[in-house]
């Protein structure tokens, strides 16, 4: 930059030189300011304007002294007051400069008045960075130029930054002195080592190589432990000391090959090791939850306590879990549980019963995929369609760390169902916490939050079910398999449960861990088959791959609507009817179907009932799914056998499939109708769901078309073991041989369109027709299986 050229464009040489000096912000350091002043006086372009002549040398020296003095005063007084870096400079006009004497004009620096400084400081406290509008308004009020106001704020911010840096330097200097003193004391101690055994002077050479390595490892572990404690304190928002002072011993009889560790929260311990994400590699990625309320911090502590309890119940065998003499199922020892675990959601409400179960199984899915499924509410509901009526994620407290689900905490709402009108839907509000304990070892725990909301004063409703710490521990195995240990622990109100289902629920079979694991195994097996490029044996080879997907999607929607109609979940808005001409154990509901392309429009009537039959679940399932025996109970078969024209396998068991059936004795009115049927069975129960469909619509679906526009109303059966302690009645095969069989709980449900006008009123005749249909079907099944009424 040419100072001479710049001055040639100004109104006067002397004024231009002064302007350059005044425009330098105070943020430049003093050395740079002094160098700038020296360069100005030595510049040839400024010789006529600022270089003092011999005659006027005194004035020039005085001006330099004034400039340096102002800088010195600035340094000395910056702790007490602030003054503008753009002080006014009063000089003579350009005409006076052209006078014969050619003397350099004098500069007068004006200090801000106390009132101006007071107003500037007041605004600085509120807004250290005022905008142009604020500076203009302040300059008018204080009779200053906007440039002066601007430079004042720049200098004030620089002053504040300098003060902070000096304070930080002082603290660092103190810390350095402290470390230097500690270093000197350590050096002194190393010069005179003391033997820990005898107390005398120790010889360094006596230490073995192994002991030296152990000491190095001990120091490393201590540093890692301190980091974990600091991270946990940051996660909870309060300091922790128990983690650094105690390591919990491993629990006995652990069936998971895991290391020893402790989470140190609330005095609770776990035998699972802290995962790699808690080490030094990703310590900065631990999610920090903003402390926006007491309730949220309580959720964090509840999640850690629930995880600890789940791990204990998943790993510990006897005496916490004991084998039942009848059936060999694992039963929770409540006395041992009370001694081992401190309840994290309070004591059990009066009148509530407790059900607890544990099941271990091998699943065709890896741990990461299963964790993602459990943490996504939609995928979780799709994985367990017969158990979850509806679910949603209400809040995400932590989304995890390092792009994974490790440390993820979210609040969820779910409606859990058992397919029977005699068992009410269980609505639960719970917290779900996911944690990686080791490489390939994950755990996902659920725990109810209704007790915490009562404590925090949040609005609550009457709770009919409380979910104690429940969930699963997943451990990767070779070839993409996983070992899943599932724990279910629930307290519920039994008063609204029918007496037929009370033994089933109290034994832990209805909503227990066995049912969750069995459903998970069946669904994962189905996914593995669908993802395979080979067509299973017995499948209809004429159906394309896209056609198979469309048919399976249609069957999935059919089964979901069937379950929603049986349990009266909030998926559809059902209205329960209290008709006097309906059997006591039959529940009849109605709803309107409007603007739903997957259903026929009009009034939909749903009727469902549950009965006990003295036959095994396997025999009952084989009878109901067999298309050759369908005429013995189905009025749609017209008294003749059904023929399977399409088959899609969903598992290794032949009973897990989707079929397309056609009546061999169709009349002219049913010439365009087929029956879509899905059947599935596992250790937790079985299902047979079907619905009549149009042939043209199914041809579109089998060719890979969209199945969302196929209208259907499902009906079907749900079969589960009765859950009684006795194995069941004695039956004979006709040859004199007898054997014991268990009973079954059969649920029969129909959904029928009684009127095609949504505005029409439901008639008594329609209700009687559905009631007679369901009663007649049950009687035909009993007669076919030779069951006594």
The 10s digit of each residue's pLDDT in 679-730 is 999 888 999 999 999 888 888 898 888 888 888 999 999 999 887 644 444 4
pLDDT value of position 308: 92
Q: Residue 490 forms beta bridges with which residues?
A: 355, 467
Average pLDDT of span 558-579: 80
Confidence of residue 507 (pLDDT cuts 50, 70, 90): confident
Q: Kindly calculate the radius of gyration of the chain based on its CA atoms and give it in whole angstroms.
A: 41
Q: Tell me if 159 sits within 8 A of 120, measured CB to CB.
A: no
What is the percent of the chain with per-residue pLDDT over 90, rounded to a whole number?
A: 27
Q: What is the per-residue DSSP string for 391-452?
A: EEEEEEEE--STTSSTT-EEEEEEEE--SSTTS--EEEEEEEEEEEEETTEEEEEEEE-HHH
Which is more confidently placed, 669 or 438? 438
d(Cα 84, Cα 159) in Å, to the nearest integer? 12
pTM comes to 0.62
Residues in a beta bridge with 352: 493
Residue 574 has pLDDT above 80, yes or no: no
Cα 590 from Cα 603, distance rounded (Å): 7
**201: its two tokens:** 């002077």
Contact residues for 103 (Cβ-Cβ < 8 A; gap 6+): 56, 59
In the prediction, which pLDDT does 381 show?
93
Going by pLDDT thresholds of 50, 70 and 90, the confidence category of residue 461 is low
- State the pLDDT at residue 102: 53
CB–CB of 397/236 below 8 Å? no
For residue 502, give the nearest of 437, 559, 424, 573 by alpha carbon.
424
Q: What is the mean pLDDT of residues 198-226?
A: 70
In this structure, of 5-9, 185-189, 307-311, 626-630, the range with the lowest mean pLDDT score is 5-9
- Band (pLDDT 50/70/90 cuts) for residue 460 is low
- Lowest pLDDT segment from 270-284, 303-317, 657-671: 270-284
Q: What mean pLDDT, rounded, does the chain reach?
A: 75
Report the range out of 185-194, 286-295, 731-740 with the highest average pLDDT. Answer: 185-194
Q: Which is it for the CA torsion 274, 280, 286, 288, positive or negative? A: positive
Residue whose C-alpha is closest to residue 585's, from 417, 448, 314, 771: 771
Q: Is the pLDDT of residue 23 over 80?
A: no
The single-letter DSSP state of residue 205 is G
- Report which listed range, 51-60, 510-519, 751-760, is most confident: 510-519
**For a pLDDT cut of 70, what percent of the chain falls above it?**
67
Given a contact cutoff of 8 angstroms between Cβ atoms, the answer to whether 501 and 509 are in contact is: no
pLDDT digits (tens, 9 = 90+) for 67-89: 343 434 444 444 444 444 444 44
CA distance 47 to 235: 67
> For 11, which DSSP code?
S
Of 241, 307, 297, nearest in space to 274 by CA = 307
| 17-31, 178-192, 267-281, range with the lowest pLDDT | 267-281
Mean pLDDT along residues 43-65: 37
The mean pLDDT value for 509-537 works out to 84
3-state secondary structure at position 690 = strand
Asked whether the beta carbons of 157 and 180 are under 8 A apart, the reply is: no
Per-residue pLDDT at 401: 85
Tens of pLDDT, residue by residue over 596-633, are 778 888 888 888 999 999 999 999 999 999 988 888 89
């Amino acid at each position: 930059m040419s100072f001479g050229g710049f001055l040639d464009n100004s109104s006067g040489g002397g004024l231009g030189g002064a302007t350059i000096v005044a425009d330098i912000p105070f943020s430049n350091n003093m050395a740079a300011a002094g160098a700038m002043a020296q360069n100005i006086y030595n510049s040839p372009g400024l010789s006529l304007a600022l270089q003092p002549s011999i005659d006027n040398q005194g004035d020039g020296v005085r001006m330099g002294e004034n400039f340096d003095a102002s800088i010195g005063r600035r340094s000395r007084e910056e702790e007490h007051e602030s003054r503008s870096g753009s002080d006014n400079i009063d000089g003579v006009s350009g005409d006076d400069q052209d006078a014969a004497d050619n003397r350099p004009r004098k500069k007068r620096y004006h200090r801000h008045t106390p009132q101006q400084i007071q107003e500037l400081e007041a605004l600085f406290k509120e807004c250290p960075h005022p905008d142009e509008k604020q500076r203009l308004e302040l300059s008018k009020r204080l009779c200053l130029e906007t440039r002066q106001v601007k430079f004042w704020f720049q200098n004030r911010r620089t002053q504040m930054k300098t003060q902070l840096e000096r304070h930080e330097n002082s603290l660092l200097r103190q810390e350095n002195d402290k470390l230097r003193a500690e270093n000197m004391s350590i050096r002194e101690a190393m010069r005179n080592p003391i033997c820990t055994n005898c107390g005398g002077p120790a010889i360094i050479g006596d230490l073995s190589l192994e002991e030296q390595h152990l000491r190095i490892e001990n120091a490393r572990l201590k540093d890692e432990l301190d980091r974990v404690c600091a991270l946990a304190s940051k996660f909870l928002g309060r300091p922790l000391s128990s983690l650094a002072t105690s390591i919990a011993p491993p629990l006995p009889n652990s069936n998971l090959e895991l290391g020893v560790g402790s989470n140190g929260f609330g005095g609770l311990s776990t035998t699972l090791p802290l995962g790699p994400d808690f080490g030094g590699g990703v310590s900065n990625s631990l999610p920090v939850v903003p402390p926006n309320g007491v309730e949220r911090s309580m959720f964090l502590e509840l999640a850690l306590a629930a995880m600890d309890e789940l791990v204990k119940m998943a790993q510990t065998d006897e005496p916490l879990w004991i084998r039942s003499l009848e059936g060999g199922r694992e039963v929770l020892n409540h006395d041992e549980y009370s001694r081992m675990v401190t309840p994290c959601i309070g004591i059990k409400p009066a009148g509530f019963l407790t059900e607890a179960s544990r099941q271990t199984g091998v699943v065709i899915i890896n741990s990461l995929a299963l964790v993602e499924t459990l943490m996504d509410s939609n995928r979780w509901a799709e994985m367990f369609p017969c158990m979850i009526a509806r679910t949603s994620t209400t809040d995400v407290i932590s989304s995890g760390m390092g792009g994974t689900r490790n440390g993820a905490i979210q609040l969820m709402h779910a409606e859990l169902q058992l397919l029977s009108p005699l068992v009410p839907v269980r609505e639960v509000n719970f917290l779900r916490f996911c944690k990686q304990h080791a490489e390939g070892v994950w755990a996902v725990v659920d725990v109810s939050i209704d007790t915490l909301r009562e404590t925090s004063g949040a609005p609550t409703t009457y709770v009919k079910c409380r979910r104690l710490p429940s969930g699963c521990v997943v451990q990767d195995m070779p070839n993409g398999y996983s070992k899943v240990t599932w724990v279910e622990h629930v307290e519920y109100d039994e008063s609204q449960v029918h007496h037929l289902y009370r033994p089933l629920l109290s034994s832990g079979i209805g909503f227990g861990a066995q049912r969750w694991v069995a459903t998970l195994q069946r669904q994962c097996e189905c996914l593995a088959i669908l993802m395979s490029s080979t067509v299973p044996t017995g499948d209809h080879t004429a159906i394309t791959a896209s056609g198979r997907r469309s048919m399976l999607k249609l069957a999935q929607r059919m089964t979901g609507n069937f379950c929603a109609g049986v349990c009266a979940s909030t998926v559809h808005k059902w209205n329960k009817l209290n008709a006097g001409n309906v059997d006591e154990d039959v529940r009849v509901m109605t709803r309107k179907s409007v603007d739903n392309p997957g259903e026929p429009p009009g009034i939909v009537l749903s009727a469902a009932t549950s009965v006990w039959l003295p036959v095994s679940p396997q025999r009952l399932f084989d009878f109901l799914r067999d298309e050759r025996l369908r005429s013995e109970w189905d009025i749609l078969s017209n008294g003749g056998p059904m023929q399977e024209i399409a088959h899609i396998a969903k598992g290794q068991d032949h009973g897990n499939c989707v079929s397309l059936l056609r009546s061999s004795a169709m009349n002219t009115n049913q010439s365009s109708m087929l029956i879509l049927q899905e059947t599935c069975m596992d250790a937790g129960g079985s299902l047979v769901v079907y619905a009549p469909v149009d042939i043209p619509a199914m041809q579109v679906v089998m060719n890979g078309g969209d199945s969302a526009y196929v209208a259907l109303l499902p009906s079907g059966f749900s079969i589960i073991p009765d859950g009684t302690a006795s194995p069941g009645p004695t039956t004979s095969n006709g040859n004199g041989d007898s054997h014991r069989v268990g009973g079954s709980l059969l649920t029969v449900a129909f959904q029928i369109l009684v009127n095609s006008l949504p505005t029409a009123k439901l008639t008594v005749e329609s209700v009687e027709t559905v009631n007679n249909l369901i009663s007649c079907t049950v009687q035909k099944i009993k007669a076919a299986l030779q069951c006594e009424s």
